[in-house]
Structure 1
Amino acid sequence: MSVKTIVPSAQTYTQDEAFEASVAYFKGDDLAARVWVNKYALKDSEGNIYEKTPDQMHRRIAKEIARVEQRYANPMTEDEVFEVIKDFKYIVPQGSPMAGIGNPYQIASLSNCFVIGNEGDSDSYGGIMKIDQEQVQLMKRRGGVGHDLSHIRPKGSPVKNSALTSTGIVPFMERYSNSTREVAQDGRRGALMLSVSINHPDSEDFIDAKMEQGKVTGANVSVRMDDAFMQAVKDGKNYTQKYPIFSENPKNTKEIEAEKLWKKIVHNAWKSAEPGILFWDTIIKESVPDCYADLGYKTVSTNPCGEIPLCPYDSCRLLAINLFSYVEEPFTKKAAFNFKLFKKHIAIAQRIMDDIIDLELEKVDGILAKIDADPQADEIKAVERNLWKNIQTKAEEGRRTGIGITAEGDMLAALGIKYGSKEGTDFSVEIHKMLAIEAYRASVYAAKERGPFKIFDSEREKNNPFILRLKDADEKLYYDMLEFGRRNIALLTIAPTGTTSLMTQTSSGIEPVFMPVYKRRRKVNPNDQNVRIDFVDEVGDSWEEYVVFHHRFKQWMEVNGFDTDKNYSQEELNKIVKKSPYHKATSNDVDWLSKVRMQGAVQKWVDHSISVTINLPKDATEDLVGKLYLEAWQAGCKGVTVYRDGSRSGVLISNEEKEEDQETTLTAFPTKRPEILEADVVRFQNSKDKWIAFIGLIDGKPYEIFTGFADDEDGILIPRWVNEGLIIKNRNDDGTSRYDFQYKNKRGYKTTIEGLSHKFNPEFWNYAKLISSTLRHGMPIEKAVELINSLQLDTESINTWKNGVARALKRYVADGTEARKQKCENCNSTSLIYQEGCLTCKDCGSSKCG
């Protein structure tokens, strides 16, 4: 297939020009404008911007879709495509297609997500390293990646190498996670999903790995639950884990209490929102591509958000239909859904998706040409080249698409239907049933015009539950599919639409509205003129808080005569919200069991999966989380994630005043920093660098730390004999905070060094702020040391600083504290304890400091 990309105009725009024009395009929405300019406006590697507003982007996409259309009968024109994609109103290509279609400046894939794996599930080091390399190669081309670890031998299994026994799953989780963090994708990190079967003997270690501070920070993790395990939990019975998983002749078996492991999963999800749950038997039973499992389409894992289960080396491109735009006269008594227009646009959306596969195959040709032209030796390029050849094969054979939706929450509100109600669920099912039927009809029609996907075989699919559902709903569609085949192996999904929904200015995906009114924080420079400071965090950064109306809530206000420019009090806002269709219908209000049942009902009309999060309040119990998981399994969901408020931090906060947190932290530290702290001065040397640390103490325990070079040229100079003093919080003339160090000289006079934070290199100071924050919130010192040691830092000097800070803090670890996951370098024992800041082996007595 020849590669022909339309090169855009050479005219370029500055960041400010594009941002200003985009703010006008989005009617003053600076967040949407910033997201579009930074992520999707066409730009080259030197930062030149070639598109000023999304209109130019949509015209670029329309040109390319129309070019592909010319290959087939009854082609759509560029203007016809442009009309349905412009203004983010109806059809919205998501993420990679939006950024990559018609982009001559990046050699990147149009696929949003990939799954990789080894043929025969090899768990050799060579196979494991191949996966690592493939993951990196995909991420540098912008894709999110998933792979399953169930093929890796459990910990302690015999191996025929110098190690003699297997290390198990967890070290490879860390390896893959670290690789993800190292790969940049146009200002963002790569996205990774790691999964494992609950049937694997190391699944408990997998579940616990994400809970350890600083470990596996570059991956989402999910557990593949089979029906037998879920039934054992429900019945209170034991469950047998095996390796290889589900083997008739396993090498390892392990009988466990299903409920005990289940409670650990629930606890971890309650505490940290992970692991996610994948109901694997449901996924496989319902999967249309798994009808072709013996031909290489056996589903093994999912993409990072869980909405696309995939076989190895398959990929998917995503597109969302904006449901809100089909509501005529929204937020009025005459509001109605335009099913006729929706039906018409589904067919167009599926046609565009099939065209995007052709564009993706051109992109893969370009990637392969780039690999071939690279100067490296063939043996170095072999893994990358074979990877993309495999992806090319799957895309050509299966032509998988991923049509989804966004704005479900706003659609229901605009119709006056409460999200989570029976009426709301019934209407959503009606929408998704139509989407499924019409997308499959469009795929059958495309097969008639363009030919079916290469391995289509109706006999293989005849007992698939999803296909049988389509048959019951529309027999003509089913028999047309028998006659003409289908263009695409699978078609539908419901993905999260984070940045997409910012630009459609609607609720995200299938989710309800997060909050109709909320506060957003932005960091401000306290030295700027006319700046308003509403909040100063624990490390002294200043923030402005401002009220934001959800766009469609604001539209409801306008329709119903409310002044959207008025500065309302909180009490007034509460009263307005109560009158709106968003009242008691936000992500924190919706009855959680109703939401799970809605997901299960909608899932029956989605051939891939649904990415959905159940939002729970901070005081939700672990029992509730477990109940929701069980309900999700019984309702026919393919997966589920829970998020309890506060289990992960974010920048959106409730507009209502939060009650003081009544939970006690691990230490008795005050929530407000005292003005004066006693302090230790610790000096250390790594390589040729001399460092100094000022450690603020409360009750002899570290509370904050300031560090940097200990010399008069680049850092701070105080007499060598000074080893203690005070850190005093003071105010500058402009109202900002500073931290001064005060000590007594040998004559007893006080000497003050002003502004510790300004005396040091900003990089050291920023890391010190991070460490100070963990100390202030009660992280045990030994855990803080582990966090510092896990930091991935770039330069030699910053690494010597890191090592020195860890040494300085070890002095404060209580004697006898165990050091986890470390081994004695002398005898390989894991029985290590801290003793006077040094790691001491209880077995052989050897000690290591530093």
Structure 2
Amino acid sequence: MDTKITVKNAATYTQEEAVNASLQYFKGDSLAATVWVNKYALKDSEGNIYESTPNDMHHRIAAEIARIEAKYPNAYTHQQVFDLIKDFKYLVPQGSPMTGIGNPYQIASLSNCFVIGNDNSDSYGGIMKTDQEQVQLMKRRGGVGHDLSHIRPKGSPVKNSALTSTGLVPFMERYSNSTREVAQDGRRGALMLSVSINHPDAVDFIDAKLEQGKVTGANVSVRIDNNFMKAVQADAPYIQKYPIFSDNPLYTKEISAKDLWDKIIHNAWKSAEPGILFWDTIINESLPDCYADLGYKTLSTNPCGEIPLCAYDSCRLLAINLLSYVEKPFTAAASFNFTLFKEHVAAAQRIMDDIIDLELEKIDAILSKIDADPESDEVKLVEKNLWLNIREKAREGRRTGIGITAEGDMLAALGLRYGSDEAVDFSENLHKILAVEVYRGSVNLAKERGAFGIYDSEREKNNPFVLRLKEADSQLYYEMQEYGRRNIALLTIAPTGTTSLMTQTTSGIEPVFLPVYKRRRKVNPNDKDVRVDFIDEVGDSWEEYVVFHHRFKEWMDVNGIDTTKNYTQDELDALVQQSPYYKATSNDVDWLSKVRMQGRIQKWVDHSISVTVNVPNETPQEVVAQLYMQAWEAGCKGVTVYRDGSRSGVLIAATEKKEEKTADVLPSIFPVKRPYVLEADVVRFQNSKDKWIAFIGLIDGRPYEIFTGLADDEDGIALPRWVTEGLILKNKNDDGSTRYDFQYKNTRGYKTTIEGLSHKFNPEYWNYAKLISGTLRHGMSIEKAVDLINSLQLDSESINTWKNGVARALKRYIVDGTEAHGQKCSNCNSVNLIYQEGCLTCKDCGSSKCG
């Protein structure tokens, strides 16, 4: 039967048709096919799919680029653009441009990332305005960053009923929760929160994410200035101020720079956060900051840290696939085609400038949608002004984000070992050429289309990046002085995530993660001719199969090595040793070499670089400290370290390791007798139309007991919204019976106690709460406790509602990466699900389900 139907005069495809067609396009790569269909294929709000393969998408994008090109001299044709972007071979628009260009079914921005906020408003009005702006951007698919350094420190006086400020952390949680609440086509929003090390609450900011379940909707980074780094080196005191860096501060605080540095290092070693932004390097190198007084003062970065931006500016991303310029790859005659590369770099900058015009059209559509909405002008004011500000920055500055992907594969294809001196030299030279040619392209566009609105060569004359361009190509420099350039800033290196799935290459400038790894496929052990390699702790059977990295497999093909053979582990190890990927994986590369490489490439990237330095699990904290210090000295703008195992991973190394069974019950975790005092989290959620509240007692951050029920009514507990934590106390009533009380500090620091948690809620809930608390206290793993709760067959609708709320409250404590058993992905029916930040995430299609 023909399953194609006509909707709005366009052919549609079923999910199965699109996946099968894309599977053929990607030559059997099911992950790439599924991710493309779910994330990038054109679809409407009803789920109708209008594209069956990326060819359809690339024609859609080429048609729109060619339409814009026709407005300018020397226009590219549809076919010329298509030839540049087809097959993900050369130029790859990333994320939002790939989804949104030519998409009539979605009113959304083409920008990948935004920065919002201000650096002076400390009022609740300003804080709430930023919260609303963040939500409005995330619903349009953008990642958002903003800085909290303008918020006054904890305990400082305020002229309202609170009398003193709560400080940064409650607002971190507010912004984090807003991120988790906003859905973006099946995924949550992305948020970066930053603060200056100069802020008196910096230590609280740095510690905020250590408590499990807190600030789970945001990445956090600390803006570190050179004076702080020098104080660390000298083991000298450092003065924090509010307002930060003020000559007449309202509040000052002397700290030990070394002590705070050690805390940053410890937290990064333990959990890969906070990231570090070397703020003086960012500002000193920034071309937009030459126009700081005109509104281009950099405030924060996007969630991945590679685009420092001023308030209301945004950026669109496009990656150049470096592997495609290697001729005769993985052979002794391999070479890099710099002539073609330079030609395509100029084309990339031209296309990115066209995308800005398309973005301006999208913003106009968003503004028209806002105007047409039935709400009052008062309700719509913040959203409308937000997009007016964003439109102005995009129109005036015309910022672009040209980057690269497949650096690791490119080096391997040329026979260069990632991290070696020879490879670093080659990469630095390549990025120098990229910078020169991108800027040349922007200057040539200025000749044809005009310079960005506020270009002023005098303002930029002492900028270090411009001076390096002058040294590299003096003719380019003088032409730029004469004609200006089309775009205020041009280059970045972003993580390429799903883009690298499409190109089937390594991501960004990163080395290969693993050239060979294992995946697991759940099997029915009763089926005939099924191999069972692994039985998990609940008795499910799994087949393990070897997966080759695409370009490792290409190396095998080029060198006549059979890619269909079922190799033993020893044979796989021997193959890797023969390959250019040997000692060049993310865990192999010497961390110091990687930092040096990042610093040398950073000199030729006017924005920044998203890169993670991977170190083994046994790496001591002192090494992480040395790594961060070296990054600053090397001229990096930011750095993130990931210690293997500090967060749960997804892929399994293809080496033989003993399977570590995770027991359902861990009896040694908790003390035999319940302590009289427990730290507690307060979790609020909504079930159906009712507001609920849960008090979760913790030992070492792990749930030990739970009390929950309706909030703010006669049968529940009325608790101020700002209360998110406290203590649960075990006390005796006059008749000798036991009761549990909740205690918290009010805004003046005085203790407030709510007596008898067990008696505040419906007795029906309390009996089941005792059951759940009993399983937790005896060490049942959280995911198993959640499974138990979900399996309860209850007749009462109210108890079923309660049950769902308890499960939701506990999910936030499940360790990221934990496999979810017995459940299927609602999008693709895969059983390959894991918990990420309390949400079920499908490892096959990438969709996420929360709640």
Tell me, yes or no, whether TM beats 0.5: yes
Number of the residue aligned with 2:276: 277
Number of the residue aligned with 1:487: 486
- Answer whether contact 1:207 1:265 (CA < 8 A) is retained: yes
Pick closer, same or farther for the CA change 1:8–1:782 going to 2, 3 Å. farther
Alignment-mate amino acid for residue 838 of structure 1: Y
- Identity, in percent, stands at 71
Aligned residue runs from structure 1 range 685-764, under 5 A: 698=667
Superposition deviation, residue 648 in structure 1? 1.1
Aligned residue runs from structure 1 range 375-414, under 5 A: 375-414=374-413
- Answer whether contact 1:436 1:605 (CA < 8 A) is retained: yes
Number of the residue aligned with 2:200: 201
- Answer whether contact 1:96 1:112 (CA < 8 A) is retained: yes
Q: Which runs of 5+ in 2 are unaligned?
A: 1-6, 708-716, 732-737, 745-750, 759-851
- Answer whether contact 2:679 2:726 (CA < 8 A) is retained: no
The DSSP-based 3-state class of the residue aligned with 1:114 is strand
The DSSP-based 3-state class of the residue aligned with 1:210 is helix
Q: Which runs of 5+ in 1 are unaligned?
A: 1-6, 662-669, 674-695, 704-778, 814-821
Number of the residue aligned with 1:636: 635
For 2:490 and 2:740, how far apart are their aligned partners in 1? 59
Superposition deviation, residue 453 in structure 1? 0.2
Number of the residue aligned with 1:154: 153
Number of the residue aligned with 2:50: 50
Aligned residue runs from structure 1 range 280-679, under 5 A: 280-522=279-521, 533-538=532-537, 543-658=542-657, 671-673=662-664
For 1:812 and 1:33, how far apart are their aligned partners in 2? 43
For 1:278 and 1:653, how far apart are their aligned partners in 2? 31
Superposition deviation, residue 587 in structure 1? 0.5
The DSSP-based 3-state class of the residue aligned with 1:790 is strand
The DSSP-based 3-state class of the residue aligned with 1:410 is helix
Number of the residue aligned with 1:96: 96
Superposition deviation, residue 658 in structure 1? 3.1
Superposition deviation, residue 790 in structure 1? 3.4
Pick closer, same or farther for the CA change 1:292–1:527 going to 2, 3 Å. farther
Aligned residue runs from structure 1 range 166-245, under 5 A: 166-245=165-244
Pick closer, same or farther for the CA change 1:783–1:178 going to 2, 3 Å. farther
Aligned residue runs from structure 1 range 762-801, under 5 A: 786=681, 789-790=682-683, 792=685, 794-795=687-688
Judge which range, 645-654 or 281-290, deviates more: 645-654
Number of the residue aligned with 2:796: none
For 2:679 and 2:36, how far apart are their aligned partners in 1? 38
For 1:147 and 1:528, how far apart are their aligned partners in 2? 54
- Answer whether contact 1:781 1:812 (CA < 8 A) is retained: no
Alignment-mate amino acid for residue 51 of structure 2: E
- Answer whether contact 1:364 1:392 (CA < 8 A) is retained: yes
Superposition deviation, residue 224 in structure 1? 0.3
Alignment-mate amino acid for residue 14 of structure 1: T
Number of the residue aligned with 1:848: 756
Pick closer, same or farther for the CA change 1:20–1:247 going to 2, 3 Å. same
Number of the residue aligned with 1:39: 39
Alignment length (residue pairs): 725
Pick closer, same or farther for the CA change 1:475–1:702 going to 2, 3 Å. same
- Answer whether contact 1:521 1:652 (CA < 8 A) is retained: no
Superposition deviation, residue 657 in structure 1? 2.4
Alignment-mate amino acid for residue 190 of structure 1: G
Alignment-mate amino acid for residue 83 of structure 2: E
For 1:377 and 1:528, how far apart are their aligned partners in 2? 62
The DSSP-based 3-state class of the residue aligned with 2:253 is strand
Superposition deviation, residue 234 in structure 1? 1.0
Alignment-mate amino acid for residue 487 of structure 1: R
Alignment-mate amino acid for residue 420 of structure 1: G
Pick closer, same or farther for the CA change 1:101–1:246 going to 2, 3 Å. same
For 2:663 and 2:514, how far apart are their aligned partners in 1? 29
The DSSP-based 3-state class of the residue aligned with 2:210 is coil
Superposition deviation, residue 672 in structure 1? 3.9
RMSD over aligned Cα, in angstroms? Answer: 2.8
For 1:629 and 1:591, how far apart are their aligned partners in 2? 14
For 2:289 and 2:658, how far apart are their aligned partners in 1? 50
TM-score (norm 1): 0.81
Alignment-mate amino acid for residue 53 of structure 1: T
For 1:446 and 1:528, how far apart are their aligned partners in 2? 63
Superposition deviation, residue 538 in structure 1? 4.7
The DSSP-based 3-state class of the residue aligned with 1:454 is coil
Number of the residue aligned with 1:12: 12
TM-score (norm 2): 0.81
Superposition deviation, residue 532 in structure 1? 5.2
Given the alignment, which residue of 741, 753, 767 partners 1:839?
741
Pick closer, same or farther for the CA change 1:135–1:524 going to 2, 3 Å. farther
CA deviation map 1:12-38 (0-9, x unaligned): 000000000001000000000011000
Superposition deviation, residue 823 in structure 1? 13
Pick closer, same or farther for the CA change 1:288–1:840 going to 2, 3 Å. closer
For 1:585 and 1:33, how far apart are their aligned partners in 2? 28
Number of the residue aligned with 1:745: none
Alignment-mate amino acid for residue 463 of structure 1: N
For 2:163 and 2:221, how far apart are their aligned partners in 1? 29
- Answer whether contact 2:679 2:728 (CA < 8 A) is retained: no
Number of the residue aligned with 1:253: 252
Alignment-mate amino acid for residue 741 of structure 2: L
For 1:237 and 1:847, how far apart are their aligned partners in 2? 48
For 1:510 and 1:847, how far apart are their aligned partners in 2? 57
Superposition deviation, residue 649 in structure 1? 1.2
Superposition deviation, residue 213 in structure 1? 1.0
The DSSP-based 3-state class of the residue aligned with 2:298 is coil
Superposition deviation, residue 616 in structure 1? 1.0
The DSSP-based 3-state class of the residue aligned with 1:641 is strand
Number of the residue aligned with 1:71: 71
Pick closer, same or farther for the CA change 1:279–1:89 going to 2, 3 Å. same
- Answer whether contact 2:683 2:695 (CA < 8 A) is retained: no
The DSSP-based 3-state class of the residue aligned with 1:453 is coil
For 2:475 and 2:483, how far apart are their aligned partners in 1? 12
- Answer whether contact 1:8 1:50 (CA < 8 A) is retained: no
CA deviation map 1:311-340 (0-9, x unaligned): 000000000000000000000000000000
